[in-house]
Structure 1
Amino acid sequence: MKEKKQIRLTSAEIAQLWAQYLSDSASQCILLYFLEKVEDEEIKPIIEYAAQLSSRHIQEIANILTEEKHTLPQGFKVEDDVNLTAPRLYSDTYVLQFIHQMSKIGLTSYAASLSSTVRKDITDYYKSCLVDTMTLFEMSKDTLLTKGIYVRSPYFPNLDHVDLVEKQSFIWDFFGEKRPLTAIEVSNLYANAQRNALGIATLTGFSQVAKSKDVTQFFINGIEIAKKHVQLFSEKLAESDIPIAVSWAAEVTNVTSHVFSEKLMMFYVATLNAIGVGFYGTGIAQSPRIDLGVMYNKMSVQVQLYSEDGANIMIENKWLEQPPLASDRKELANKNNQS
């Protein structure tokens, strides 16, 4: 019987695998550091499970890309990018919140990756990633609930009837009195405030352990942007009498010694920026109120400009890996003419 030939990876599959390899290699460094410092015996198994997932994903992606004769990304390595003997930079509470947020982001990104797959083995791989990440999501969520530190979205009154929109002001009343926020608008504002609050804590720790002046200042600038965004989200929620008090700044210690490489920290912030812009885009799409769309657009531009500053630092220091590119046909043609 003739052996069935394996179909080549599509550009979408290569892009997703490449990006995930980088992310998981960075996550592995961070999680192994957390594992060395954890004191809470209820949180430790969650970190162990998350680290095991990252390690397994790295190996599985490496096997796929190697079989296809693709060069592996450089990524990040424990021996180069993290000091496991450094003092504790973040509390166990922060670590648990970090893992829970990353699991929620993982569920979104793996679903997107799955939807772009063609080959059965790649589809099966991302299906397993989703199942594993769902387990991590439930583990972290249940522990947050048990410890009484889970931050819930606001509650709404019970619905007793259905209304239809009767006025254009539901969407267009930009300067006048605003209608109350819809449930999905509240959900997005609250979730974005939470992510930015966690980002403030993350960048605070990074700014303390960075050694280069430009990298330190980059993190400080990011803290100021995130604080402003939390303030804007809070103001929009307050307009509908929805309080918000989210801060994890107290979960950062006073450590200033070397913990993570600047290359790793810059990559992680670049990843958070990209994710943040994506969530702001979702906020635009799901917010009928025009003022919210305008706000999200302004925030997105601000984050993109901040990301450009980060990319320039990474390029200058040779920290930015170039993703797979399409063939430059014009360059190939010119080379042929020169030979």
Structure 2
Amino acid sequence: MPESPRLSSSEIGVLWMTYQQKTMILTMLEYFIEQADDPEAKQIMTNLRSTMQPYVGKIESMYRAEDLPVPIGFTKEDVNKGVPKLFDNGFDIMFLRLVEEITMGMHTLNLTMSYRQDVTLLYQELTQITQKCYDDCTQFLLTKGYLPKSPYVAVQKQVEHAKGTNYLGMFNPIKGKRALNTVEIAHIHHSIESNVTGMQMIFGFAQCATYQEVSNYFHKGGELAKGLVKEMSEVFLQNDLQVPSTAGGNFTTSKIPPFSDKLMMYCVSLFCSFSLGGNSLGTAFSLRNDLPVKLSVFMKDVFEYAHDGAKIMIKHGWMEEPPQTIKH
């Protein structure tokens, strides 16, 4: 039998990224499961933890077989169980749903950069687990009334083709800008929805961070998310569309950190990457030219914000480097 091929450079890289993300969510689940009041929410999180845990071990085994240093990721040192609730009213499942949404995209991308059969199988299986958890979270939030759907709209009864440059949003002094189409509504709604959850998360992190520098950084990120929600909500209102809102997912008054500053900084960094990717798609699929302009400004701000976060993580020794190539 031929020897099993070595891991390629891209496989080493994507497995490293997966290890960081999986150990982060497993560590956070330890706290959220302990704090969960709703039995159904607790079951969703417990099921995910039990099915996901073995894959961390599989990645460790793959690294050891290649004589590669096993990543550190996140451990029990990064969670403080037994402290008061930092979030309430369904935030745990709202947060988990957003993390699983990020994870689905990562698994698909990682699968396209994998070649060895055991690695591709790992991502296929993780994709199924993630999709199942995402659906469980969605149905739970809909049942509890914590997840607003995108607006219902009246749609034209016949297929139309764009006529002239007015469709691209060129200002018409009589008619003004054209109405949003359903693709644009979908991306704007998604942006508002994800940033509302992100805003609640980061403001909660801000009030319990150990370092003042980190707390200030989180406050800045919360204001950034708030600005995006406000700007995109105004676009909806200008088009007579209902702005999505939820009564759930609030942060409490607790100032005792459930997670280490290192973990919270990585979590925010992950959300920044997701925001950049989501806004890029929104820009690509929005043909009314004022929308890409608005989103591009926020993308620039999010990129600069993420860069500032990386500086803080490096300063405190919290940024674990991916496996490095040897310079000959």
TM-score by length of 2: 0.94
1:147 is aligned to 2:144: yes
Instruction: Please tell me whether residue 210 in structure 1 is matched to residue 205 in structure 2.
Output: no
Q: Please identify runs of 4+ aligned residues in structure 1 that moved more than 4 A.
A: 247-250
1: CA distance, partners of 2:250 / 2:212? 24
Residues 180-228 of structure 1 deviation map (CA, whole Å, 9 limit, x = unaligned): 1111111111111111110111011111111211000000000110100
Alignment match, 1:7: 5
Letter in 2 for 1:241: D
Identical amino acids, percent of aligned pairs: 28
RMSD across aligned positions (CA): 1.7
- 2:35 is aligned with what amino acid? K
Contact 1:32/1:84 (<8 A) preserved: yes
Distance 2:11 2:151 in 1: 38
Partner of 1:37: 35
Partner of 2:111: 114
CA distance in 1: counterparts of 2:19 and 2:220, whole angstroms: 28
Q: Please report how far the alpha carbon of residue 243 of structure 1 lies from its aligned counterpart in structure 2 after TM superposition.
A: 1.7
Partner of 1:335: none
> What does residue 279 of structure 2 align with?
280
CA distance in 2 between counterparts of 1:250 and 1:127 reads 31
Aligned partner letter, 1:9: L
Gaps of 5+ in 2: none
**Cα 1:305–1:36 shift into 2, 3 Å:** same
Q: Taking structure 1 as the reference length, what is the TM-score of the superposition?
A: 0.92
Quote how far apart the aligned CAs of 1:71 are: 1.2
Tell me the distance in 1 between the aligned counterparts of 2:19 and 2:82: 25
Which residue among 162, 166, 181 is the counterpart of 2:159? 162
2:184–2:285 CA contact under 8 A, matched in 1 = yes
Determine which structure has greater relative contact order: mean sequence separation of CA pairs < 8 Å that are 6+ residues apart, divided by chain length.
Answer: 2
Would the alpha carbon gap of residues 253 and 161 (structure 1) be closer, same or farther in structure 2, given more than 3 Å must change? same
> Quick one: distance in 2 between partners of 1:214 and 1:103?
29
Equivalences for 1:219-238 in 2 at 5 Å?
A: 219-238=218-237
Greater shift after overlay, 189-198 or 149-158?
149-158
> Following TM superposition, by how much is the alpha carbon of 1:158 offset from its aligned partner in structure 2, in angstroms?
4.4
1:81 to 51, 64, 78: 78
Give the aligned length.
Answer: 326
Comparing 221-230 and 251-260, the one that deviates more: 251-260
Contact 2:111–2:120, Cα closer than 8 Å, also in 1: yes
Matches within 5 A, 1:169-318: 169-173=166-170, 177-247=176-246, 251-318=250-317
Q: Post-superposition shift, 1:92? A: 4.6
* Partner residue of 1:63 out of 61, 64, 88: 61
Deviation for aligned residue 1:159: 4.4
Partner of 1:336: none
For the pair 1:127 / 2:121, whether they are aligned, the reply is no
